[in-house]
Each structure stands twice: as C-alpha cells, then as structure tokens.
Structure 1
C-alpha cells in the first residue's frame, strides 16, 4: 500500500512538472495582439518575461517583429535588438520603448556602441521602415519591420529592461537576468 501511495505521489509530481514545462514552453503561441497581427514564428525568451514573434520574408529581406515584455510598469523601459558581432550588449542594433511623460508608449532605434550608451534615438546599420510600441495591462510591445541583409538572417539577439526616472532612461541592472538576456536567433528556420 505504501509503495502504491509513493508511486501515485511520484506520478502526480511528474505530471504537474510536465504540464508546467509544456505550458511554459508554449506561452508565446497563445499570445495575441490588439492590432490583430499574426506572426509565423515565436519564441519564449528565457529571462525578463519576454517573447519574440516574427515573420521573415526572405525575398525582400524584411522581418516583421513583435517583442513583448510582460510584467513591466510604465516606469521601466524595454528593449530588444540584434547584434551581428555576438551575444553581447556592445554592437547591438536596438529597438527601445518607454512610456513618455504624456503617458503614451513610444519607440525609437538606437545603436549600442559602448557600455554606457546615451540611449538616444540614432539610426541603425539597417533600415527600420516601421516602428511603434504599445503599453497595455503591464505589457510593453514593440512592433517593427526590419530590412536586414541576408547575413543577419541568423544572428545574436539581446533584450533588456531598466528604470525610467523623470522621463529619462536609466542604466539597467548588471546582475542576474539582466546579464543573461542574450542568445541566438535564426529568422529563416524559426529557431
């Protein structure tokens, strides 16, 4: 009788664990957008409550993306970018969003060229013909169309969050998830 009870407990724990890991691996697949946009691929990023959705059009080199950062506040900024020189901050071509002093989400591009970047709007090394952001229900979403060269269809990605004070972007934390927020992305294969 005791062995059956332990087997039941073990089976129950494994079932709950499997269901939890299955559902967490599929979070981005259940997400929808208020503008009804749909994307061919998505991935749950491993830290900072972030998700990337995209559709890659190889014929014209465009990537339509939606970067979603959940569990954030209007006093935080959110960012996502690609870095052709590796999974690190310096060299990242970034999309940044924050809630401005009028209470409206705004997005801009910036090139991260140092460890203490000014985080001001600058052009990227590739065109960004469309860029916008929304902030709803403690979720910041950046929508963009990137026109990338073919050698960037598989590259490194970086995402980040940090505080905003008096309308100004402040440096992000340099410990924990903030230094783990990098990886690779293959827009072509969906990996």
Structure 2
C-alpha cells in the first residue's frame, strides 16, 4: 500500500471515527470505584475532552446534585475546574469549583465567578458567593492518580435540571494567588455541554458537530494546499526541459494547481465559517496566515490569464515573480498547517502523517534536484569533449578553394633555395 493511500485513509478515518469516540460516555472502572461511595453509578458517569471524568447523582425532588470530577495533573502545578452556567454552555458566566495543585504539593478548593475579564487574561479571584449552595466541597488526590473535585450542590430554581449547562477545564500552571491561563488548543475550548441531569442524556454538545467540520477543514487544506500545490511545482520544475522533458508537464502543473486551489478554497471558507461561529474564542494568527495563503494562491491562479508571451521583454521578470511567489506560498502553507495541527490538540496522528507526507514530497524533490545537477554536469562534460573534437577536425581539414579565386604560392622563406 502506498504512503499516500495510507495517509489519506488515516485522515478520513479520523474524520468519521473521532466524533464517535468523543461521544462515548462511559467512565473507567477505576474512577467508578473511587466515587462509588457517592452512589454514582456507570449510568451517571461519563468521560469528557481533556481526559477527565465526571460523575453525578441528582435528586430532582430535593434538587441535590452530588458531583465528582477528576483527571490527572502531570506537572508540579495545575488545576481542575468544574462549574454550572445559568446562561449557556460557555465559560463566561460560569459558577466554578476549582481545585488547585500548588508547587509545594498542597491542594486547595476554591469557588470562582468566571467573568468576561477572565477571557482577556485578568487574574481570577476567589469568591465566597457564587450563587450556588455548595457543601462538602473538597479537592483530593485518590489512589488511581486522579485529582478529584467533590461537592454537593443544591440547585436554585433558576437552574433548569433538564438543561444544565456544564463547563469544565484543565490548566497546567497555578500560583499562590490562583490558577493561570489554560492551554489554547481547540480541545480546551470544547469543554461545555448541556446535560439532562435526570435522564443522563447529553442533549447539546456543539463540539461534536464542530469537530467534524474542523476535521474536514484540516483534510481539505492539507490535501489542497499541502499536497496538490507541491506536486504541481515539482511537475513544472523537473519535467519541463530538464532533467527529463515531458510534453504534458504544463497540463499536469495547471491541473494540480487548480485542484489544490479548489480544495484549499473550500477548506479556507470552512475555516472562516468556523471562526465566525466561535463567539468566545478565535485563533487570529492561524486565520491571518490563511488569508495570506488564499491571497497568494489567487494571484498565482491569475497567471493562467495574465502570463505575458515568451517574446515579451518583461517575461523574465514575470517568471522571477511567479517562481518566488510560488515557493513562498509553499513555505507559508507548511507553517500554517503545523500551526493548525497544534491548535487541534493532542492527536499526534495528524502531525506525524503530515510530517511523513512532507518528507516524501521533499525526498522526491531532492532526488530529482540531485539528478538534475548530475545530468547537467555530465552534459557539460560531453559538450567539452565534442567541442575539442570539432576544433581538431577544423584544424586538419583544409578549407575548400573559392571558385574563381587565384591561388598564389607562398613566398619562400629567407635563405631558402630558389
């Protein structure tokens, strides 16, 4: 099986399997064992993004909600956050319970009101009143290596138990004054859902649908910008005249460029749509680079109609511009694809698949480049040999007499016999 076939297969598997994995709501047996004393069963326990687990037990009559939220903290510091948002499934407005692991190993459980100021990087400050009746609130480390937030909450009437907006988060750094900003991968923004606490149904998790769209966005851009464009460049550079002449090189070049531009354009538009519909976060650098890529690619597409004729005086300057812009485009595309993969989060299959693909294309180009130079030098050597033979032949073969000309004998040298 070829590498390209394996690569594309893996990408399409990711596109359709990852949403299914994300919707698998079953806690691990180890976590269930730890929270069994809170009468939390497998029916009311599920896994979340960021590799955390959430279990609960809800009494609709008393409106008592017992929760256990746990995950791993691998660094010297870190924090876990779980909360309810009376407004909607997003960060701003969340009434949060946060467990903090400090550098000295101590653990602390604090309550916070998450406001819009937090979004712009302001320091979180604990609050005694978050609008929830919270009891038995603790943050502990359990035998399975998890750090777990435990609490009993009595829901006010304004909180709809059939549509509870649950928000969670994991951070890597904390100070004495509180938690610091969490990582900015896409998974750290897919941390809110709407749950029916009574029937244990996830009734609203837009991240599932958006994850599918993000996967399609990534595949289209990798295949379009990252595969077809480089192949089109290889066809134009190495098969026009040297090292091998191929009469169909221009058709291959234009076809690959148009296919890459078409797929990339769809992926680019999908990315803009995702950015415009993400009300609470945006990846501005990734977006700006994508706009540059689209602009450069569009300029290259205009070359099909605006290319000057071979006899035009400024054709060589146009060629310099076209080549420089094309190579610059490939470099910017690679940078933005890696940037997008980093945003996507922990899935290393994307990164190493693209590294393998990039290495394959680069290896092909390197082999052709070396072959080009070898053949160039061999041709130079042959030209020199043929040139020497032609000079020798011209020296030993006398020039033919011109018809009608008088041939005069050379004068004898001085001292010669007459």
> TM class, shorter-chain normalised?
0.7 to 0.9
Query: Which runs of no fewer than 5 residues in structure 1 stay unpaired?
Result: 1-16
Question: 1:93-141 CA distances to partner (integer Å, 9 max, x unpaired)?
Answer: 1010012355232211111012245322212112102200112454210
- Matched residue SS, 1:64: strand
Conserved? CA contact 2:26–2:45, under 8 Å:
no
Task: Give 2:153's aligned residue.
Answer: 146
Deviations 1:56-95 (A, max 9, x none): 1122211000011235444111101111211111010101
Of Structure 1 and Structure 2, which has the larger fraction of its residues in helix?
A: 2
- Taking structure 2 as the reference length, the TM-score comes to 0.37
Q: CA deviation at 1:159?
A: 0.7
- Name the SS for the 1:39 alignment partner: coil
Give the C-alpha shift of residue 43 in structure 1. 1.5
| 1:189 to partner: Cα distance | 1.3
Tell me, yes or no, if structure 1 residue 121 matches structure 2 residue 134.
no
**Greater shift in the superposed pair: 173-182 or 31-40:** 31-40
**Structure 2 counterparts to residues 1-191 of structure 1, below 5 A:** 25-28=25-28, 30-31=30-31, 32-33=33-34, 36-40=37-41, 41-45=44-48, 47-70=49-72, 72-114=74-116, 115=119, 116-122=121-127, 123-136=129-142, 138-150=145-157, 151-153=159-161, 154-167=163-176, 168-191=178-201
- Structure 1 residue 25: Cα displacement: 4.3
Distance 1:66 1:183, change over 3 A: same
Structure 2 unmatched runs, 5+ = 1-16, 202-418
4+ aligned runs moved over 4 Å, structure 1: none
More strand by share: 1
Q: Deviations over 1:124-179 (max 9, x none)?
A: 11210220011245421000011102433122111111132443421112332111
Retained in 2: the 8 A contact 1:29–1:42?
Answer: no
Alpha-carbon separation, structure 2, partners of 1:126 and 1:81: 10
Provide TM-score, normalisation by structure 1: 0.77
The 3 A distance-change label for structure 1 pair 185 and 117 is farther
CA distance in 1, matches of 2:85, 2:54: 15
Of structures 1 and 2, the larger Rg is shown by 2
Count, aligned residues: 170
CA separation of 1:171 and 1:164: change in aligned 2, threshold 3 A: same
